[in-house]
Structure 1
Amino acid sequence: MALAQFICSFAGSNMNVMINDISEDLDTTVQGVQVAITIFLLVMAALMIPGGKLTDRYGRKRCLLAGLVVYGVGALLSAVAPGLGVLILGNSILEGVGTALLIPPVYILTTLLFTDTASRARAFGTIMALGGIGAAAGPLIGGLITSALSWRAAFVFQALVIVVIVFLSRRIEDPLPPDPSRPFDTVGTLLSAAGLILVVTGILAADDNLWLMLALLVLGALFLTGFFAWVRARERAGKEALLSTSLFRSRTSNLGLVTQNAQWLLLMGVSFTVASYLQVVRGYDAIQTGVIFTAATLGILVSSLAAERLAKRRAQRTLIITGFVTTIAGIVVLVLVVGGSPSPWAFAPGLLLIGLGLGVMLTPSVNIVQSSFTEDQQGEISGLSRSVSNLGSSLGTAVAGTILVAGLTSHAYAAAMITLAAVGLIGLTAAALLPRHPPQAPAPGLGGV
Structure 2
Amino acid sequence: MTEHGKSPGPAGGRILAPLALAQFICSFAGSNMNVMIKDIGHDLDTTVQGVQVAITMFLLVMAALMIPGGKLTDRLGRKRCFLAGLAVYGVGASLCAAAPGLGVLILGYSVLEGIGTALLIPPVYILTTLLFTELTSRARAFGVIMAAGGVGAAAGPLIGGLIATTISWRAAFVFQALVIALIIALSRRIADPLPPDPAHPFDVRGAVLSAGGLVLIVMGILATDDNAWLTLALLSVGCLVLAWFVHWIRSEERAGAEPLLSTSLFRDRTANLGLVTQNLQWLLLMGTSFTVATYLQVVRGHDAIQTGVVFTAATLGLLVSSLAAERLAERRSQRTLITAGFALVLVGIGVLIAMVAGSPDNWAFAPGLLLIGLGLGVMLTPSVNVVQSAFPEDQQGEISGLSRSVSNLGSTFGTAIAGTILVADLSDHAYAAAMATLAFASLIGLVTATRLPRTIPAAVSTSLPPRP
Query: What band does the TM-score fall into relative to the shorter chain?
Result: over 0.9
The corresponding residue for 1:360 is 378
- Is residue 303–residue 359 contact of structure 1 (8 Å, CA) maintained in 2? yes
2:228 and 2:464 mapped to 1: Cα distance? Answer: 48
Instruction: Answer yes or no: is 1:300 the counterpart of 2:310.
Output: no
Instruction: Answer yes or no: is 1:67 the counterpart of 2:85.
Output: yes
Residue type of the alignment partner of 2:420: T
The corresponding residue for 2:64 is 46
Q: Alignment partner for residue 205 of structure 1, among 223, 226, 235?
A: 223
Q: Deviations over 1:53-82 (max 9, x none)?
A: 000111111100000000000000000000
Please state how far the C-alpha of 1:117 moved relative to its aligned partner.
Answer: 3.2
The corresponding residue for 1:157 is 175
**Percent of aligned pairs with the same residue?**
77
Q: How does 1:16-55 map to 2 (within 5 A)?
A: 16-55=34-73
Residue type of the alignment partner of 2:261: L
Q: Alignment partner for residue 235 of structure 1, among 222, 232, 253?
A: 253
Q: How does 1:334-373 map to 2 (within 5 A)?
A: 334-373=352-391
Instruction: Answer yes or no: is 1:179 the counterpart of 2:197.
Output: yes
The corresponding residue for 2:6 is none
1:280 and 1:121 mapped to 2: Cα distance? Answer: 41
- Is residue 140–residue 294 contact of structure 1 (8 Å, CA) maintained in 2? yes
Residue type of the alignment partner of 2:64: A
Q: Secondary structure at the match of 1:354?
A: helix
Q: Which runs of 5+ in 2 are unaligned?
A: 1-18
Q: How does 1:164-313 map to 2 (within 5 A)?
A: 164-313=182-331
Instruction: Answer yes or no: is 1:423 the counterpart of 2:441.
Output: yes
Q: How does 1:34-183 map to 2 (within 5 A)?
A: 34-183=52-201
Q: Deviations over 1:244-295 (max 9, x none)?
A: 0000000000000000000000000000000011001111100000001000
Please state how far the C-alpha of 1:115 moved relative to its aligned partner.
Answer: 2.4
- Single out whichever of 413-422 and 309-318 deviates more from structure 2: 309-318
Work out the number of aligned pairs and report it: 446
Q: Secondary structure at the match of 1:442?
A: coil
Q: Secondary structure at the match of 1:14?
A: helix
Please state how far the C-alpha of 1:332 moved relative to its aligned partner.
Answer: 0.4
1:81 and 1:46 mapped to 2: Cα distance? Answer: 24
Please state how far the C-alpha of 1:357 moved relative to its aligned partner.
Answer: 0.1
Please state how far the C-alpha of 1:111 moved relative to its aligned partner.
Answer: 1.3
2:356 and 2:135 mapped to 1: Cα distance? Answer: 40
- Single out whichever of 425-434 and 269-278 deviates more from structure 2: 425-434
- Single out whichever of 133-142 and 382-391 deviates more from structure 2: 133-142
- Single out whichever of 429-438 and 372-381 deviates more from structure 2: 429-438
1:254 and 1:151 mapped to 2: Cα distance? Answer: 39
Residue type of the alignment partner of 1:82: P
1:162 and 1:362 mapped to 2: Cα distance? Answer: 24
The corresponding residue for 2:451 is 433
Deviant stretches of 4+, over 2 Å: 115-118, 439-446
Residue type of the alignment partner of 2:26: C
Residue type of the alignment partner of 2:154: A
Q: Alignment partner for residue 7 of structure 1, among 25, 28, 51?
A: 25
Residue type of the alignment partner of 1:41: L
Please state how far the C-alpha of 1:445 moved relative to its aligned partner.
Answer: 11
TM-score (norm 1): 0.98
2:405 and 2:117 mapped to 1: Cα distance? Answer: 11
2:20 and 2:256 mapped to 1: Cα distance? Answer: 37
Q: Which runs of 5+ in 1 are unaligned?
A: none
Q: Deviations over 1:11-68 (max 9, x none)?
A: 0011111101111111111100000000000000000000000001111111000000
The corresponding residue for 1:317 is 335
Please state how far the C-alpha of 1:179 moved relative to its aligned partner.
Answer: 1.1
The corresponding residue for 1:330 is 348
- Is residue 27–residue 150 contact of structure 2 (8 Å, CA) maintained in 1? yes
1:431 and 1:110 mapped to 2: Cα distance? Answer: 25
- Is residue 118–residue 311 contact of structure 1 (8 Å, CA) maintained in 2? no
2:129 and 2:325 mapped to 1: Cα distance? Answer: 16
2:169 and 2:405 mapped to 1: Cα distance? Answer: 28
Q: Secondary structure at the match of 2:315?
A: helix
Q: How does 1:383-398 map to 2 (within 5 A)?
A: 383-398=401-416
- Is residue 121–residue 311 contact of structure 1 (8 Å, CA) maintained in 2? no
2:128 and 2:90 mapped to 1: Cα distance? Answer: 23
Q: Deviations over 1:331-374 (max 9, x none)?
A: 00111111101111111100000000000000000011000000
The corresponding residue for 1:382 is 400
Please state how far the C-alpha of 1:439 moved relative to its aligned partner.
Answer: 2.4
1:193 and 1:408 mapped to 2: Cα distance? Answer: 31
- Is residue 118–residue 312 contact of structure 1 (8 Å, CA) maintained in 2? no
- Is residue 122–residue 307 contact of structure 1 (8 Å, CA) maintained in 2? no
Q: Deviations over 1:382-418 (max 9, x none)?
A: 0000000000000000001110111100000000000
